[in-house]
Structure 1
Amino acid sequence: MGNKLVTFSEQQLINYQDCTFFTRKEILRVYKKFRDMKPDLVPKTMKKSEAYSVKVPVEYIETLPEFRENPFKRRIFEVFSRDGKGNLTFEDFLDMLSVFSEAAPRDIKVFYAFRIYDFDNDDHIGPEDIDSALKLLTGQELTVEERQQIVEKVIEESDVDGDGKLSYMELEHCITRAPDFLSTFHIRV
């Protein structure tokens, strides 16, 4: 009795609940998953500064079953990492899984989908970004010409203002027409 290990302070848990789509129990489950990736690096009791300073290297995060087969995993980790290289702190990891939770609203998911597909970080999804996504999705299965045809078709069907690239609003419009977006843009914790 009384030997209960306290991972976070009460205030930390309240703060995490306020800024994620998780319950207290889910936050602790996410922490266990985070710690299990690299237990020799991640402390059992997380001090406030450690939650945003202790980073698990991307190689360990890529081994999670939820991401193992995802061709966008490296890009997802880069988008959510403070260092932009895919190494995640607990808070980065918590944010990422919160966005992919079933409770996250569609507009948050669309915002991060846009960031993930904007490979060159220029606030547009251009032909190069679409080509990068196709390479990840298909590997070497498509020729350069086939990929080019797909890129042109995507731009033709989605580029409302005719500038040759997709804005956030244009991607959002495409996603609203994709009935399976919400069911595929999530990870169960």
Structure 2
Amino acid sequence: MGNSSSLHLQQEDVQAIQDETGFTPQQIERLYSRFSSLDKAGKSHLTREDFLRIPELAINPLGDRIVHAFFYESKNGEEDKVDFKDFVRVLAHFRPIKKNQEKNKLNTRMEKLHFAFRMYDIDGDDKISKEELLAVLTMMVGQNICPEQLLSIAERTIIEADTDRDNLISFEEFAKVLERTDVEQKMSIRFLS
């Protein structure tokens, strides 16, 4: 056990995943183990229901948006299924970036920003409206802030970020607002150390 053949992945598949994501073969093996444990039916793909059985996602206020991201990023052409390669591609966005480490295309600052932007862009039109911002804020803080305060925060955010005054936040405006934020570290999970 422990070698890539035990994964039901060919060595060339492991190498291709490593090249695309930056994960080591050992990390890929551990991710495959986690993927397999979620794939209770052994169908080689995960559904939304499979993801929603993950306790951390079930209690996360943005769990539904996070699950949506796995399906949005899916390259297998099926909106309701995520295969192992899609699963690993999404997780690669959260790989910590170490100094002097070669970055892969999924783990750059811009890719992390695009991923975060999609959390807010609920309708997928490449713009964040006040209503979308309000919906995500409501998911995040729920009953802790009254609706009037949430609306005020959403309106103020739109005013501050919307440089072209179309009452929407584009990706460029979103990135500009976050230019001084350490997105590389804030969007990193040390889940495979």
Give 1:80 deviation, angstroms.
Answer: 2.1
Show structure 1 runs of 4+ deviating over 4 A: none
Question: Percent identity of the aligned residues?
Answer: 29
1:175–1:84: structure 2 CA closer, same or farther, 3 Å change rule?
farther
Separation (CA, whole Å) in 2 of partners of 1:84 and 1:128: 25
**What residue ranges of structure 2 are gaps of 5+ in the alignment?**
98-106
Give 1:150 deviation, angstroms.
Answer: 0.7
Separation (CA, whole Å) in 2 of partners of 1:66 and 1:100: 16
Aligned length: 175
Which residue number in structure 1 is paired with residue 185 of structure 2?
183
Which residue number in structure 1 is paired with residue 32 of structure 2?
31
Give 1:76 deviation, angstroms.
Answer: 1.9
Match status 1:158 vs 2:152: no
Match status 1:100 vs 2:94: yes
Bigger mean CA offset, 59-68 vs 123-132: 59-68
Separation (CA, whole Å) in 2 of partners of 1:153 and 1:84: 35
CA contact (8 A) 1:57 1:88 kept: yes
* Paired amino acid for 2:186: T
Separation (CA, whole Å) in 2 of partners of 1:67 and 1:105: 24
CA contact (8 A) 1:77 1:88 kept: no
CA contact (8 A) 2:7 2:32 kept: no
* Paired amino acid for 1:95: R
Separation (CA, whole Å) in 1 of partners of 2:110 and 2:47: 29
* Paired amino acid for 1:14: Q
Give 1:93 deviation, angstroms.
Answer: 1.0
What does residue range 53-132 of structure 1 map to in structure 2 within 5 Å?
Answer: 54-64=44-54, 67-81=57-71, 82=74, 83-84=78-79, 87-103=81-97, 104-132=107-135
Which residue number in structure 1 is paired with residue 104 of structure 2?
none
Separation (CA, whole Å) in 1 of partners of 2:150 and 2:134: 7
1:6–1:119: structure 2 CA closer, same or farther, 3 Å change rule?
closer
* Paired amino acid for 1:185: M
CA contact (8 A) 2:96 2:188 kept: yes
Q: Any idea what the Cα deviations from partners look like across 1:97-126, whole Å, max 9, x if unmatched?
A: 111111322111011111221001111011
Separation (CA, whole Å) in 1 of partners of 2:173 and 2:36: 39
Give 1:58 deviation, angstroms.
Answer: 2.3
TM-score, normalised to structure 2's length?
Answer: 0.79
* Paired amino acid for 1:88: V
Say what the alpha-carbon RMSD is for the aligned residues: 2.3
Give 1:25 deviation, angstroms.
Answer: 1.4
Which residue number in structure 2 is paired with residue 50 of structure 1?
none
Which residue number in structure 2 is paired with residue 51 of structure 1?
none
